[in-house]
Structure 1
Amino acid sequence: MFDWEAAWHAALYGPAGFFTRGEKPAAHFRTSPLVGPELAEALLTLLSRVDAALGCPPVVDFVDVGAGGGELASAVRSLASGSLGARLRVTAVELGPPVDLPGVRWSSTIPRCEGLLVGHEWLDAIPCPVVRGPSSDPWITRWWPSLGDGWAEVGTPRDTAWAAAVGSVRGAALAIDYGHLVSSRHFSLTGYRDGRQVEPVFDGSCDITAHVALDACADAAGGDFVLVSQRDALAALGLSSEVTGSGWEWLESAARAGRVAELRDPLGLGGFGWLLHGCGVPVSALLPSLPPWRPNPASHSVV
């Protein structure tokens, strides 16, 4: 029997794996940190709320799990200012080769975090078993009850990884990813190479990914959490697409508005789920009450 999880893991993280040899997501698909600095700005706003709820500790962490080329970690470090910036410690967690970025330390394992941990498109890159129904797997029974004789990705490894990550945090943990709910499960295993969606092959030549069962991850980690759309979360953190001013100011404002619109597009990046767990901090202190996330079929935006 073909071991999908082992083959997937070797293709991404083995000796000749896609990520192990230093491939960076930016070369293969478009993600929110590549749009501009606005995502980092919003996450700094969230981090400032976490920091205040923690009582402004001497050192406050921003941990970027699955950091890729470190674009998000670097942007957060460069934009942070004032008291928060002076106390901020930024860690990029990645299995591939580190990138030399000012003020960013690299780790191959998730450290303890007092502040904000972010897994931005991390969970979708965690390999998991693939089964064809009918299946008696307990995860499938609970989280993919309408499988029938179709194919499915068993999300247990992702649930375990997210629960462990949340358990390492005092403050808040945020998973940002594309995914689906128990009411809308669909087989989604696919590959990306050079800006194109391709058939997934397990030879290390492409990224291999699948949608995340964020509801199952939320349940596995437990505690106080919300699951909302990126579109709504960014608005709640102050990102606006309003255009103001005149002349060069208007042009800069219009460019920024375009980037914010891309980040909040409900048919694209704005449709991503934000799963936010409060870890000793009430979620209500971090985000206002927002509509629950309703996933769409969108995945990566190709380059």
Structure 2
Amino acid sequence: MTGPGWRGWRAATEAALYGPDGFYRRPEGPAGHFRTSVHASPLFARAVAGLLCRVDEALGRPDRLDFVDMAAGRGELVTGVLAALPAGTAARTRACAVEIATRPVGLDPRVEWRAGLPEAVTGLLFANEWLDNVPVEVAQTDASGVPRRVLVRADGTERLGEPVTGAEAAWLARWWPLPAEEGLRAEIGLPRDAAWASAVSRVERGLAVAVDYAHTVDARPPFGTLTGFREGRGTVPVPDGSCDITAHVALDACALPGGRVLTQRAALHALGITGARPPLALASQDPAAYVRALTSAGEAAELTAAGGLGDFGWLVQPVGIADPLAQASPPGL
């Protein structure tokens, strides 16, 4: 029994983010509180459009090509991808945005807006910063070194609950082993593993990609990563609907057979987004073009920066096709 007002972080986060008055129901959307790669530069959508074109080629250019924007926010990515596609490819593309919030006013009418994934996908399913908002339980070692579930109230007050057992204990032992030292924390990623497997199961042929803050088993943070965001700033995670609640993703645990984890830097470099400065000679030959190229290079540098967006993880999961990013090297996160 958890007692009055106490519940695990998974249930508390679910209500705080997705309940009737939850954070993701708010009209300003995610962009009002934090900046993702989608908001940083239109180059990101162009890169995703380029990836969709590679998937299209690998599929043999089918009559209908699916693009699914999972956790679509206010439709910024799907809008940018459609705008960046060649006209012929765009005409064959069925664009679908999956999001619990209501459809934004003025969204491109070609975009299907829905609360759940389509039954079957032939093309690219792209989940940008979705898995970090799939709620998980938090474990913390007690004075004896035993991992216990962390319980929380709506005001953010915590206490330790029952020991972690069963499938959750097995997951910790395999993917986030905690030394027998008091106060160490971990986020139990089982719900994310299941959510990703369910999403990939909808892809009949094509590619599924999850992009997120991530870590791997050889470098798990000893005190976990649970945090909050409000109005562009990190804050204490309080499950009352006033802030985003997020935790980095163990993408290596989510990966299904054939999947692999890259950094965003490696993935975008493979898609031609490098951040290289334009040649100085262009400044005298075409000053306006030089300024445009310099701006683009700056945006690309932000998207691929070490210590920043470039360190995001990309979990790349081909289904029935060769990996379109096969030439991208998989440096550690």
TM-score by length of 2: 0.84
- Is 2:269–2:328's contact at 8 Å kept on the other side of the alignment? no
Instruction: Report the equivalent of 2:227.
Output: 190
Residues 109-128 of structure 1 mapped to structure 2, 5 A cutoff: 109-111=116-118, 112-128=120-136
Identity %: 46
1:254 equivalenced with 2:261 (yes/no):
no
Residue of structure 2 aligned with 1:105, choices 83, 90, 112 = 112
Instruction: Report the equivalent of 1:299.
Output: none
Instruction: Report the equivalent of 2:310.
Output: 270
Give the drift of 1:240: 3.2
User: Residues of 2 paired with 1:201 and 1:23: CA distance?
Assistant: 19
Residue of structure 2 aligned with 1:154, choices 180, 185, 188 = 188
Gapped regions of structure 1 (runs ≥ 5): 296-303
Give the drift of 1:282: 1.6
User: Residues of 1 paired with 2:328 and 2:87: CA distance?
Assistant: 29
- Is 2:274–2:304's contact at 8 Å kept on the other side of the alignment? no
Segment drifting more, 84-93 vs 96-105:
96-105
Residue of structure 1 aligned with 2:174, choices 104, 124, 142 = 142
CA distance 1:193–1:239, change in 2 (3 Å): same
SS at match of 1:281: coil
1:102-125 CA distance string (max 9 Å, x none): 122211001121100001000000
SS at match of 2:17: helix
Residues 228-239 of structure 1 mapped to structure 2, 5 A cutoff: 228-239=262-273
1:24 equivalenced with 2:61 (yes/no):
no
SS at match of 1:224: coil
User: Residues of 1 paired with 2:319 and 2:117: CA distance?
Assistant: 16
- Is 1:273–1:293's contact at 8 Å kept on the other side of the alignment? no
1:7 equivalenced with 2:27 (yes/no):
no
Gapped regions of structure 2 (runs ≥ 5): 148-164
Give the drift of 1:23: 4.3
Tell me which amino acid in the other structure corresponds to 1:146: L
Instruction: Report the equivalent of 1:281.
Output: 321
1:29-73 CA distance string (max 9 Å, x none): 111011121111111111111111111111101101011111111
1:115-162 CA distance string (max 9 Å, x none): 000010000000011122323411111111135342211100000000
Tell me which amino acid in the other structure corresponds to 1:258: G
Q: Aligned pair count?
A: 290
Residue of structure 2 aligned with 1:210, choices 247, 252, 255 = 247
Residues 43-122 of structure 1 mapped to structure 2, 5 A cutoff: 43-100=48-105, 101-102=107-108, 103-111=110-118, 112-122=120-130
